Chain A
Amino acid sequence: MVLKVFFPQCCNRADSGLLVGRWISGHDSAVVLAVIHYPFIPGQVKQYVQKMQAQSGVELSVLGSWSLPKDGQEGMESFLRDLSTIFPQERWLQINRELGKTGFTCQVVHRDQNGKVVQREAKKKVEGGDEEEEEEEEEKVIFVHYEQKKVMFSQLHPVENGVPHPTTDPPSELRQMFRTVASSAPLFFLDRYDNGPLKSTHWQTEGREASIIVELLKQASVPLCLLIGWLLSVWSWICNLRVFSLFPLRFLSSKLSTCVQLSYRSEHMRTLSSRTPAAGHAHFMRKANMVVSFLVDVSLGMLLVWWLYRDEHISMLANALLPAAEHVAKELEELLQWLMGAPAGLKMNRALDQVLGRFFLYHIHLWISYVHLMSPFVEGILWYGGLSACFGLTFALSLLSDMVALLTFHIYCFYVYGARLYCLKIYGLSSLWRLFRGKKWNVLRQRVDSCSYDLDQLFIGTLLFTILLFLLPTTALYYLVFTLLRLVVVLFQGVLHLSVDFINSFPLFALGLRLTRHHRLAEGVKFRVLCEEPGTALHLLMEINPLKCSTVVQTYRTPTYSCYPRDSWAALVKKLFVGELVYPWRHKTTKTD
């Protein structure tokens, strides 16, 4: 039977006294939390331990005695042994250390059911002092030294949410030990400058540690939460006005990424402005990540605003926009003229070519006149739109994405026309091909069946099939060109959305915590054997093994309305081939939508 004693490093040089801690049930180990020094009154010690147990919820008890005799303190042996009778325990640890030696010695005193103390050393003397057995008994205690401050603040991953079932899922020894130390905060309030009846040693003996910045933030957070809550209530009142729940506006607001981002951020603010403090580690980390990502977002946006509004950048951009749009229109017109001729040496059907080409040219003409109409207002729009970056860089990027979508609306229209035409053609061709071979699509059975057609049906079907087949290259080429253009625009929008998503979801606070205070996020522990002297128990040093950075990012990613590809590559290619309309990026809808 190996007994494990978790001993705090701060108590290595403590004066002699009583050990207070907890026995971990089922694992044969004890966690020492503090040492209460002589002189003390046993009744007060018992009262204190009971009070601490009530406050912290941890089953504290007096584990045993600790003796580090300083100069002039001899003859404590019998006193220490008598202590075990005052504090009735099943097992009583007597840990001794001598100055100058690094090893501890420990004797475990058992108490049998009659309440009689069974002392093993007396037994050994009776048996004639079996050397081996004594050494073996001494060696069967392992001292695990741990740094109390680090273990107090660290969180073992994977984080267990809720109360684990005691029978089916027994918590592991390490988790129980970490939880014991973390919950025993009330025990560490007594420091040596208190004038109470008891003096104890633990990690806060020299005085309680706290950070001024954290305390100030805590004080400042209350009025800030109230302010944010009030602003949010005003904002949600505006949003819930009847005017805005009309059909077109609601549809538009779900499609525009700026509105989506706005609702997402207001959801975050709602979480942050709640009055109750965070329950649990995961909730706290999520709130902290939200705050940090919001602050980073706003600061990046301010940087953009500062760059945009100096040196007349806005008018430069506005003046460059019109020539750029005209250039795009000219390129498209040239492209269409090229298609209407003999593109890449292919011979097109002249009539259909001319029809489609003129149709699209007219659209471009409409679009360019629309841009000319808008040109006086562009500078104003850019000026006010740039102000939106004050809310954050994500808003500026979403606004840019929306503007790109609006400006390239004609490309989207061309793509839809071309795709619909091509799709119709493909379906017609496949259906007439079946007719050509004497088969039919059975809608009821969802399969291809043979069918006997009349002669005139066959004749007209074959005619139509030939027409559609020979017109296929023309339509296919137009479809190809406009699909490629659309894909370019979609790609650009996708890049913008991905960067917005990245800023929204990246857990900067968790990563910063991992880099600066790596003991707070623990993947596990690691042990190191401390130099021991022969004949003493085994001493191990327990250090915290910090979480890997990739695991930190994975665990603490804020969930977003993430923008990710809807189809796999194979499905996408198939859809493009058949002519179905393709919307490659999918938005996960939030709960408010």
Chain B
Amino acid sequence: MLYPITGDTKRHTHRFLTTDLAAVGTVRGTSTGQNAAETQSTTGHVYRDAPQRRPTRTANVVEKVAFMMEDEAFTDINGKTISLDCQSHSSLCREFTVSVPKVSIGKVLVYTCCVWLLAYAVFCFTENTAVLSSAIIVTLVGMMLHIHFVKVDHESLIVIRSLGIQMSSSYASGRETTTFIEMSKIKDIVINEAIYMHQIIYYLCVLLKDPSEPEAVSSVVPLFQSSKPRLNCLVKVYKSCQEILSKC
């Protein structure tokens, strides 16, 4: 589903991003971004460079206000609002939670009405009551499966210095799936870019290494797969993680 632009040269992308964070958003390399605080991305949305403090041609006041607010309006790649919560338990441990909007009751009503109208239409033709009861059962089972297996409520990332990284997704029914990766297997955390259908998106990922071969990247584990936050959110998480990882 996700095809990274840079084949196995993920380190290259990583280096590009860390050395020149002000140039984030201009991956085409057209301008170094020294003079632009706002850069257009391919999808037409505007990114703000958080660390950029110089007064720019437009949106001075807006930028300052946005910087002062703790909870910026983050969105995911489709434009839906998400929220990021950073919690620092101690200097050794930080937790980031990205929450996705909940299941909307309007959508549920629309789907249920459609299914039941269709079932009633079929019933009018066939005069078989089994159609109606099966429609009810299908709707209920479908809803239960959706909230248990598909609908993610929030995803969280915990970074613990010298122990490892833990990623967990929590579903709407309360189920939680957790993965923990030990520090010896982690090479680095980077922001990588990928071609996703007609878009180019950024995603945060963990580079794993085999302890016997410290130089080679053995696999890549993407983070925040279901919530897919945008670059501004990712940069915040990335900087925070690097502060902890660099001390290890």
Counting CB contacts under 8 A, is B158 at the interface? yes
Distance in angstroms between the alpha carbons of A142 and B166 in the assembled complex? 16
B179 interface hit (Cβ, 8 Å) = yes
- Asked whether, in the complex, the Cβ of B180 is within 8 Å of the Cβ of A524, the reply is yes
Asked whether any CB of chain A lies closer than 8 Å to the CB of B184, the reply is yes
Please state if B184 and A173 are interface contacts (CB–CB under 8 Å).
yes
Interface CB pairs A-B, < 8 A, 10: A2-B161, A142-B92, A142-B162, A172-B182, A172-B211, A525-B180, A526-B178, A527-B158, A527-B180, A540-B93
A545 at the binding interface (Cβ < 8 Å): yes
Given A4-B163, A142-B163, A527-B166, decide whether A172 and B93 contact each other with a Cβ distance below 8 A: no
Which chain A residue has the least Cβ–Cβ distance from B90? A538
A interface residue numbers (CB < 8 A to B): 2, 4, 28, 136, 139-140, 142, 144, 168-170, 172-174, 524-527, 529, 532, 538, 540, 545
Binary interface encoding of chain B residues 76-108 relative to chain A, with 1 for a CB under 8 A from any of its CBs, else 0: 000000000000011111010000000000000
User: CA separation between A204 and B109, bound complex, in Å?
Assistant: 55
A132 to chain B, nearest CB (A): 11
* Complex: A54 Cα to B168 Cα, angstroms: 41
Q: A28-B162, A529-B158 are in contact. Are A173 and B92 (CB under 8 A)?
A: no
Which single residue of chain B is at the shortest CB-CB distance from A141?
A: B92
Contact A173 B182, beta carbon cutoff 8 Å: yes
The closest CB in chain B to the CB of A174 belongs to B182
**Nearest-neighbor residue (CB-CB) of A168 within chain B:** B212
A2 and B92 contact, CB distance less than 8 A: yes
CB distance from A492 to the nearest CB of B (A): 30
| Contact across chains for A4 and B162 when beta carbons are under 8 A apart | yes
Q: Which residues of chain B are near A28, meaning CB under 8 Å?
A: 162
Bound-state Cα–Cα, A195 to B105, Å:
66
Please determine whether B90 and A532 come into contact, CB atoms closer than 8 angstroms.
Answer: yes
A522 to B160: give the CA distance in the assembly, Å: 21
**Does A545 contact B178, Cβ atoms closer than 8 Å?**
yes
* Contact partners of B168 in chain A: CB under 8 A: 526
Q: How far is the CA of A86 from the CA of B27 in the complex (A)?
A: 63
Given the known interface contacts A2-B161, A529-B158, the answer about A524 and B179 at a Cβ–Cβ threshold of 8 Å is: yes
Q: Closest approach, in angstroms, between the C-beta of B26 and any C-beta of chain A?
A: 38
B165-205: contact bitstring with A at CB < 8 Å (1 yes, 0 no)? 01010000000001110101100000000000000000000
Given A172-B211, A529-B95, A532-B90, A2-B162 contact (CB < 8 Å): yes
Give bound CA distance, A317 to B163, whole Å. 67
The 3 closest A-B pairs by CB, nearest first: A526-B178, A2-B162, A538-B90
- Using known A-B contacts A524-B179, A526-B166, A545-B180, determine if residue A532 contacts B89 with beta carbons closer than 8 Å: yes
Give the distance to chain A from B88, nearest Cβ to Cβ, in Å.
11
Contacts of A532 in B (CB 8 A): 89-90
A272 → chain B, closest Cβ, in Å?
A: 37
Q: Which of A170, A529, A545 contacts B89 (CB 8 A)?
A: A529
Whose C-beta in chain B lies nearest to the C-beta of A135?
A: B91
Number of interface residues of B (CB under 8 A): 21
Q: Which applies to chain B's interface (DSSP): helix, strand, loop or mixed?
A: strand
Cross-chain contact B93 with A529 (CB below 8 angstroms): yes
User: Which of B162, B163, B185, B212 is close to A527, meaning CB atoms less than 8 Å apart?
Assistant: B163
For A28, A136, A170, A538, the residue with the greatest tally of chain B CB atoms inside 10 Å of its CB is A538
Contact call B91/A139, Cβ cutoff below 8 A: yes
CA distance A136 to B163 in the complex (A): 18
Q: How far is it, in angstroms, between the C-alpha of A168 and the C-alpha of B213 when the chains are bound? A: 9
Distance to closest chain B CB from A575 (angstroms): 37
Which residues of B have CB within 8 Å of A168?
212
Q: Given the complex of chains A and B, what is the CA–CA distance between A174 and B178 in angstroms?
A: 16
Return the chain A residue nearest B176 by Cβ. Answer: A526
20 extra interchain contacts, Cβ-Cβ under 8 A, other than A170-B211, A174-B182, A540-B160?
Answer: A2-B161, A4-B162, A4-B163, A139-B90, A142-B92, A142-B160, A168-B212, A169-B212, A170-B184, A172-B182, A172-B184, A526-B178, A527-B158, A527-B163, A529-B93, A529-B158, A538-B89, A538-B92, A538-B93, A545-B179
Least Cβ–Cβ distance between A511 and chain B, in angstroms: 19
Q: Please report the C-alpha to C-alpha distance between residue A538 and residue B163 in the assembled complex, in whole angstroms.
A: 12
Query: Which residues of A have CB within 8 Å of B95?
Result: 529
Query: Separation in Å of the A407 CB from the closest CB of chain B?
Result: 39
Chain B residues within an 8 Å CB radius of A2? 92, 161-162
Q: How far is the CA of A538 from the CA of B95 in the complex (A)?
A: 13
Task: Please give, as numbers and ranges, the residues of chain B lying within 8 Å of A540 by CB-CB distance.
Answer: 93, 160, 163
Cα of A239 to Cα of B168 in the assembled complex, Å: 57
**Measured CA separation A18–B161 after assembly (Å):** 28
For the complex, give the distance between the alpha carbons of A525 and B184 in Å.
Answer: 15
Give, as a whole number of angstroms, the nearest-CB distance from A28 to chain B: 7
Q: Inside 8 A of B90's CB, which chain A residues have their CB? A: 139, 532, 538
In the complex, chain B residues whose CB is within 8 Å of the CB of A136: 91
Cα(A142)–Cα(B90), bound, Å: 10
**In the assembly, what is the distance between CA of A99 and CA of B92, in Å?**
25
Minimum CB–CB distance from A549 to chain B (whole Å) comes to: 13
CA distance A460 to B148 in the complex (A): 75
A530 nearest in chain B by CB position? B89
How close is A34's CB to chain B, nearest CB, in angstroms? 23
- CB-CB under 8 A from B161, the residues of chain A are 2
**B92: A residues at CB distance < 8 A:** 2, 139-140, 142, 538
B214 to chain A, nearest CB (A): 11
Identify the closest chain B residue to A28 (Cβ): B162
Determine the distance from Cα of A234 to Cα of B185 in the docked complex, in whole angstroms.
Answer: 54
- Name the A residues within 8 Å of B180 (CB-CB): 524-527, 545
- For B185, the closest partner residue in chain A by CB is A172
Collect the chain B residues with CB atoms within 8 Å of residue A170's CB. Answer: 184, 211-212
- Measured CB to CB, the nearest residue on chain A to B166 is A527
Per-residue CB proximity of B136-167 to A under 8 Å, as 1/0?
00000000000000000000001011110010
Name the residue of chain B whose CB is nearest to the CB of A3. Answer: B162
Task: For the complex formed, measure the closest distance between the CB of B230 and the CB atoms of chain A, giving whole angstroms.
Answer: 27
Query: Could you tell me the distance between the alpha carbons of A453 and B214 in the complex, rounded to whole angstroms?
Result: 70
Cα–Cα distance between A529 and B95 once the two chains are bound (Å)? 9
A136's nearest neighbour on chain B, judged by CB, is B91
